Amino acid sequence: MTTPRVFIIRHGETTWSLSGRHTGATDIPLTSSGEQRIRATGRALVGPDRLIVPRNLAHVYVSPRRRAQRTLELLNLRLPLPWVDDDDKQTKGEDMKGQQEHDCAARVQVSESVREWEYGDYEGITSKEIGEQRRARGEEEWDIWRDGCPGGEYVCLFPSCVLSIIFCSINSRSRKTKDHNTEN
């Protein structure tokens, strides 16, 4: 049995991440450079002799944001993706080639628990612009971990999202181990 590991992979580059704009709920697609970099990351990290061995994955969580799902597609983990149908495989051609042969039995779950931070009033603006707004209101320098985002996410909710994913992963692994032991 392999040692349990957790991999956290952020989505590829978008026009907003490139320009420093905070992106949460807005579903911005990857740039072509972002797609190329994720493909290269997949080639470097994914494979039977690499850091991420697809057949050893038990569970994959992905944000409902399209940029995150596209990132997962481009990593080429060779697993069934719930949002990809046969028409998508035809349209995306080379990008979906490895996905057609499922070497990975991991369950893919689209989950709000791993979605991007909700920036609320700060959605789509840069940290510099946030600082200017806060100075104009006489507020101290912004610290997302202390201040959160007005109209957005509360910092105190972040740990519960992370813990829920960890507990779900442990339960998923326990069920997989129990099923394996029952079969033998």
Query: What one-character DSSP code corresponds to residue 181?
Result: H
Of 113, 114, 81, residue with least CA distance to 100? 81
- Selected catalytic residue, list 13, 35, 73, 116: 116
Q: Taking the mean position of all CA atoms in its chain, how far away is CA 139?
A: 33
- Selected catalytic residue, list 11, 22, 123, 153: 11
Of 99, 113, 2, 9, residue with least CA distance to 58? 2
Cβ atoms within 10 Å of 40's Cβ, excluding its own: 11
Does 11 participate in catalysis according to the annotation? yes
Of 60, 54, 33, 30, residue with least CA distance to 42? 54
Asked whether the beta carbons of 151 and 121 are under 8 A apart, the reply is: yes
Does 22 participate in catalysis according to the annotation? no
Enzyme catalytic residues: 11, 116
